[in-house]
Amino acid sequence: MDIVLTTVGIQAVINAQETGTNAVTISEIGVGTGKYTANKEQTQLQTQVKRLPILEGGQAGDNAIHVACKDDGPGAYEVCEFGLFLSDGTLFAVYSQSTAIVTKQTETSLLLAIDVKLEGVNAQNISFGDVTFSFTAATSENAGIVELATDEETRAGTDRQRAVTPASLKTLTSTSERAGLIRTATEAEAKEGKDGVALTPASLKGAAASEAETVEGKSGTLYVTPLGLRALKATTGRNGLVELSTEDEAKAGTDKERAVTPAGVKAVVDAATPETSEAAPGLIQIASEVEATTGLVSTKAMTPLTTKAVLDNRIATVEETQVGTSNTKFITPATLKAVVDAAVAAALAKQGGAK
C-alpha cells in the first residue's frame, strides 16, 4: 500500500530539526471508514471512528518505521482509512482504500500493524514515546523479520527485502535469458548432447568417443580424442589415417598398412631398374625436342614425336636443294621432283627461245 506523508507532517519534522528538538513523536493511530484516495494536503481523516494509542513502534530499517495499535473495546466497524498522528495532533501520514483493510467485530479485538517507507524524511528523526518494537525488519546490517518471496519474485531477482525459500529457489532455473540453477549432466546425457543441463569435467570426459565409436564413425554428438583418432587407421574398405613408409619399407614391398610417397616409389623403381647403358638394359630418360634436334646428348632416348621433329628440321627446302650447298639436310622425293621439274622447264624454255 502507498502510504502518503502529509505536507504538515513533513514540515513538523523539519521544524523539530530547526528548533533543536531533533525528533517528533508518533503517539496515535487514527482509524476510520472513509473510502478515497489519500493526498498529502490532508490534515485529518475524512470519517474518523477513533484514535488509538500506539502499543509498539520503532525503526524498521532501510529508512522505514513500524507502528501498531490495538482496540479490544466494544463496538464494530470497518477500517478503510488510517492515519499516524504526532503527539501534538498533526497528521503525519495517511492511507485509504475502497475496501476494508481490517474489520472490528463487537466480540473481537482489532490489531493494526503498519510499516511505512519514508521518503524525504529521515526515520532517525521520529520517536515513539515509551513504546518499543523488537521485531524490526531485517536489513543487510541488522537481523529482523522478513517476508518470504514468491516464486515470481525469486525469478525476477529485483526485490531486496524479501527472503527466498528453498522451494522458490528451486524454480530459479537457468535459461538462455537468465542465470539460475542448473542440473549437471550425466555421462549418458553428455553423450546424447542434451540441452538444459551443465557439463562437468567428468561428464565432458564421458562425451568422448571410444576407439570403437571413432572407427565406426556414426555418432554426430561425441567428440574424438587424439587417442581415438589414432585408432582410425585406413584399410582397403575404410578411410582413415595412414602412416608413410620408409624407403627401405617401400623397397621391401611386404608392408600392407603403410603408404608409399612419390619419393618412395622413385626409390623402388631406381633400385629395381638401373640406368641403361650400352652394356646393360635399364631405365633411360626421354630427350626433349631441342635435345633431339641438336643431336649432342648420348644418354637419352628419342620418341616418335621427337624423331619426327628431328626429321622435319633436316628436310631441305626446294630453295636449299637448288642452291646445293648444305651437307646436313636431305632431299625428299617431293623436293627432288620439284627441283627436276623446274630444271626441265627451264631447259625447254631455253630451247624454244633458241629456235
Position 307 scores a pLDDT of 84
- The region that residue 199 occupies, defined by phi over 0 for left and psi between -120 and 50 for alpha, beta otherwise, is beta
Position 73 scores a pLDDT of 92
Q: Is 281 helix (H, G, I), strand (E, B) or coil?
A: coil
CA–CA dist 199, 193 (Å, integer): 10
CA–CA dist 172, 164 (Å, integer): 10
CA–CA dist 312, 300 (Å, integer): 20
Position 133 scores a pLDDT of 65
Any idea how long the chain is?
A: 355
Handedness of CA 239, 244, 250, 256 (dihedral sign): negative
CA–CA dist 64, 45 (Å, integer): 22
Cβ–Cβ < 8 Å for 202, 184: no
HSE value, Cβ hemisphere, 13 Å, CA-based, for 178: 11
Dihedral of CA atoms 35, 41, 46, 52 in degrees, nearest 10, equals 100
Instruction: Name the one residue in this structure whose C-alpha cell is 495517511.
Output: 94
CA–CA dist 86, 44 (Å, integer): 12
Cβ–Cβ < 8 Å for 114, 57: no
Q: What is the pLDDT along the chain (355 residues), one digit of tens a residue?
A: 899 999 999 999 998 877 755 689 999 999 999 999 999 999 999 999 999 999 999 887 778 999 999 999 999 999 999 999 999 999 999 999 999 999 999 999 999 999 999 988 888 899 998 887 665 666 776 666 777 889 898 888 888 778 888 988 888 777 777 777 777 767 676 666 666 666 666 665 666 777 777 777 777 667 677 777 777 777 777 777 787 888 888 888 888 878 888 988 877 777 777 667 677 676 788 889 888 788 788 788 889 988 887 777 778 788 878 887 887 778 888 888 887 888 788 888 888 766 5
- Nearest Cα neighbor of 10 from 92, 81, 77 is 92
Residues 6 or more apart whose Cβ sits within 8 Å of residue 116: 3, 5, 64, 65, 66, 67, 84, 93
CA–CA dist 168, 307 (Å, integer): 96
Position 71 scores a pLDDT of 96
